[in-house]
Amino acid sequence: MELFEGLIAKNGLVFAFLIVGVLTLGSEFFSKKFLKSKIPGSAVAIFLALLLGYWGGVWGNGEKGLADVKFFSGLGFFGGAMFRDFTIVATAYGASFLLVKKSGWLGFISLVLGISLFFVLGVIIAFAWGYRDVVSLCTIGAGACTYIIGPVTGAAIGASSEVIALSIGTGLFKTITVTILTPLVAKRIGLDNPQAAMAFGGLMGTSSGVAAGLAATDPELVPYGAVTATFYTGLGCLVCPSVFYGILELML
Amino acid sequence: MIIYGVALLALSFLLGQWMGEALGALLGIDANVGGVGFAMIILMLLKDWFLREGWMKKDMDAGIDFWGKMYIPVVIAMAASLNVKGAVSSGLLAVLAGFIPVAICFAVFPHMLRRFKTD
């Protein structure tokens, strides 16, 4: 057992390849056998992984889900920012630049619309919950955009650490919701072509949620959704603590 | 050589990330602004250029294709290493503020698409 533990500790990333492979295999099987492939295997795998992440959080008592459990630390590296961004860029290889250019304008409009919509809705919900100070409202509104915009905004305007944590939780929940719901509703909302995927990426914004949701819907759409979604967090970090904060302050 | 493809991808990635960091610094915010998006556009442009010049060899494709196909497994690993417990335990407000706007956006999305198609 000790020998085995040492082996895993030394080869965390390789062990992560094995875990994800087995998880995918099981999910594909489950999807075919019990769901008649109505929910794609990759969507099942992502959902299962989220459950494992929750369980890992309880067990490992950290902030990185299952990756905080010593045995599974390789998952954190495999699913970390470097691999995520590197592989997402690689998906662009199959995308057509002409299509991206053609829908660029639509992508830009949906970005602006998406950030404003999520911010406003986040602020309204926080207001309805009882928050009245501009700093907290703005931070929670920013968290409703993504779990990165929330803390960046909160830090910039001096929010309390509880409110910042709340904004991170809000953003994380958004990512999870988008990941799970996208493959379920994609067909019904017309999300089946590159142009729609670009608009979707801009509107929803959470690049991990959008890309994960699209990956489970139709892998060919991933690069189109990702190419707009990836500008969302940057743009949000720019406008939330400045323009949006200013407007909120004027209003309250 | 497969490594040429991987290296081309790495070059696009690093250039794009660098542009994103530079743009963030220029705007005075501590964030990478669209680094991944820039990298994707650079890769698409480099691909077009390489294809035109006839420099793209079959093996190079394989080096980039592999990483593109690894995207879903990476997302699965990412999902398992998200702070799901933190999200759930930050309370009902986080759940509502995370869920309701997404649901509204899903409802708005088809109308937005239709508006653009008729324009």
pLDDT digit string (tens) for B60-92?
889 999 998 898 899 889 888 888 887 777 789
Tell me which amino acid residue A145 is.
Answer: C
User: Distances from the Cα of A234 to the Cαs of A142, B23, B93, in angstroms?
Assistant: 12, 9, 25
Same domain, A75 and A100: no
CA distance A250 to chain B (A): 23
Res A91 pLDDT > 90: no
Q: CA gyration radius for chain B? A: 20
Shared domain for A136 and A218, answered yes or no, is: yes
Interface of B with A in 39-68 (CB under 8 A): 39-41, 43-45, 47-48, 61, 64-68
Tell me: pLDDT of A237 over 60. Answer: yes
From chain B, pick out residues whose CB is under 8 angstroms from the CB of A65: 80-85
Higher-confidence residue of A181 and A4: namely A181
Smallest Cα distance from B93 to chain A, Å? 7
Residue A29 counted as domain residue: yes
Residues of B in contact with A54 (CB under 8 A): 84-85, 88
A69 and A108 together in one domain: no
> Using a CB-CB distance cutoff of 8 angstroms, which residues of chain A are in contact with residue B91?
166, 169
Determine, for residues B79 and A212 on separate chains, whether the beta-carbon distance falls below 8 Å: yes
**Domain identity same for A110 and A23:** no
Chain A residues close to B34, C-beta within 8 Å: 230-231, 234-235
For B26-65, write each residue's pLDDT tens digit. Answer: 877 777 777 888 898 899 999 989 989 988 888 888 999 9
Please give the structure tokens belonging to residue A94: 């199959």
CA count, 13 A, side-chain hemisphere, A252 = 17
Confidence of residue A83 (pLDDT cuts 50, 70, 90): very high
Answer whether residue A91 is part of any domain: no
Token reading at A166:
């709340």
**Which of chain B's residues have a Cβ under 8 Å away from the Cβ of A139?**
none
A48: nearest Cα among A67, A20, A73, A74: A20
Which residues in chain B have Cβ-Cβ distances shorter than 8 Å to A58?
85
**Domain-located, residue A42:** yes
Please list every residue in chain A whose beta carbon sits closer than 8 Å to the beta carbon of residue B101.
Answer: 117-118, 121-122, 125, 144, 174
- For residue A210, the Cα-to-chain-centroid distance in whole angstroms is 6
Q: Is the dihedral of CA A119, A121, A126, A127 positive or negative?
A: positive
The answer, yes or no, to whether residue B119 has pLDDT greater than 70, is no
The confidence band for B118, taking pLDDT boundaries of 50, 70 and 90, is low
Range with lowest mean pLDDT among A236-240, A246-250, B4-8: A236-240
| CB neighbour list of residue B28: distance below 8 Å, 6 or more residues apart | none
Q: What is the DSSP string of A9-40?
A: HHTHHHHHHHHHHHHHHHHHHHHHHHSTTSS-
| Predicted local distance difference test score (pLDDT) of residue A35 | 81
Show the domain range for A121.
96-251
For residues A61 and A166, membership in a common domain is answered with no
CB pairs under 8 A between A and B: 315
The answer to whether residues A18 and A51 belong to one domain is: yes
A65 lies in the same domain as A153: no
Q: Which two tokens stand for residue A86?
A: 């590197």
DSSP letters spanning A128-179? HHT---HHHHHHHHHHHH-TTHHHHHHHHHT--HHHHHHHHHHHHHHHHHHH
Do A109 and A55 belong to one domain? no
Cα(A140)–Cα(A239) distance, rounded to whole angstroms?
Answer: 14
Residues in chain B, total: 119
Q: Check whether residue A50 and residue A131 sit in a common domain.
A: no
pLDDT of res. B110? 92
Range in A41-55, A207-221, B20-34 the model is least confident about = B20-34
B89 CB within 8 Å of a chain A CB: yes
**Band of residue A43 on the pLDDT scale cut at 50, 70, 90:** confident
User: Is pLDDT of B22 > 60?
Assistant: yes
Please, which residues 90-119 of chain B have a Cβ atom closer than 8 Å to chain A? 90-91, 93-106, 108-110, 112-113, 116
Give the nearest chain B residue to A76 (CA atoms): B81
Q: Considering only A105-109, A177-181, B86-90, B109-113, which range has the smallest mean pLDDT?
A: B86-90
| AA identity, residue A166 | L
**Mean pLDDT along residues A49-73:** 87
Two structure tokens written together for A95: 């995308």
C-alpha distance from residue A41 to each of A37, A128, A129, B87 (Å)? 7, 39, 38, 25
Q: Once rounded to an integer, what is the mean pLDDT over residues A143-172?
A: 88
Owner of token pair 């060919």: A220
Tracing tokens 């660029």 back to the chain, one arrives at: A104
Q: Residue A32 falls within a domain, yes or no?
A: yes
Angstrom CA distances, A44 to A56, A217, A223, stand at 18, 11, 21
Note the pTM of the prediction, 2 decimals: 0.82
Residue among A150, A191, A133 nearest B98 (CA): A150
How does the average pLDDT of chain A come out, rounded? 89
With beta carbons less than 8 A apart as the criterion, state whether A115 and A107 touch. Answer: no
Task: Report if residue A152 sits inside a domain.
Answer: yes
Q: What angle do CA A110, A233, A250 make, to 5 degrees?
A: 80
A18 & A129 share domain: no
Pair (A111, A232) in one structural domain = yes
Instruction: Let me know the angle formed at the C-alpha of A228 by A223 and A234, rounded to the nearest 5 degrees.
Output: 125
Residue of A78, A83, A237 lying closest to B29 (CB–CB): A237
Last residue of a domain, one of A79, A105, A139: A79
- Assess whether A18 and A104 both reside in one domain: no
Question: What does the pLDDT look like over A94-142, one tens digit per residue?
Answer: 888 888 888 888 889 999 999 999 999 999 999 999 999 999 999 999 9
Q: What is the pLDDT of residue A206?
A: 87
- Among all residues of chain B, which has the CA nearest to that of A49? B80
Over its C-alpha atoms, chain A yields an Rg (Å, rounded) of 19
What is the number of domains present in chain A? Answer: 2
